Amino acid sequence: MYESGDLRKGLKIEIDGDPYVIVSFEFVKPGKGQALYKCRLKNMVTGVQFDRTYRSGEKFKPADLEEQEMEFLYADGDQYCFMNKTSYEQVFLTKAQVGDDVQLLKENTVCSVLMFDGRPIALSLPNFIDLKIVKADPWVKGDTASGSSKPATLETGYVVQVPPFIEVGEKIRIDTRTGQYVERVKS
């Protein structure tokens, strides 16, 4: 069990059967009386945020969260199917749970799926992912007026700025945390 003195940004606790993460935290000690802990909490299942104030001495249950390595298999409408690599159990995440990561998600990508009480609630992509370029404007030698980058469309449909020497058919590495080009990948 956590006590109110253990509260900090990023801590995951369980309230009324749902997992919450502390988004922001402030400690207030008034002139007299008990210390107060002002928190902004975010529901990890629904995404709803709210403010709550706790007094010193209150206790909190840690959220029963587990990360599992899973492989992305396929998308079926707004459902995304992932398979546990050890038990071969399949779970589905909704488009809202996958979020913006859907733009970089490719079949057979190994991801980290956050589970709460045996049900999937969130997805984390690996830090770097290699994708193939399917559309890019050709580079004209000596063309320096257009700048030092050009847009390229990847196999997932994501558009990224790349150096002008990158061509269609090449594989590039993307940083999934920033969504930017990192380097060209040698095949």
Q: Do domains 2-62 and 128-185 have the same CATH topology?
A: no
User: What pTM, to 2 d.p., does this model score?
Assistant: 0.72
Tell me the domain boundaries of the chain: 2-62, 65-124, 128-185
Copy the structure tokens of residue 165: 């020497």
Q: Which CATH fold topology does 65-124 show? A: OB fold (Dihydrolipoamide Acetyltransferase, E2P) (2.40.50)
Alpha helices in 101-180 (DSSP H): none
> In the CATH scheme, what architecture does the domain 2-62 have?
Roll (2.30)
CATH class of residue range 128-185? mainly beta
pLDDT in tens, 113-155: 888 888 888 888 899 999 999 998 887 666 565 567 889 999 9
Beta carbons within 10 angstroms of residue 101's beta carbon: 20
pLDDT in tens, 23-80: 898 988 888 888 889 999 988 888 788 999 988 888 999 988 888 999 999 998 889 9
Distance from C-alpha of 119 to C-alpha of 104, rounded to nearest angstrom: 23
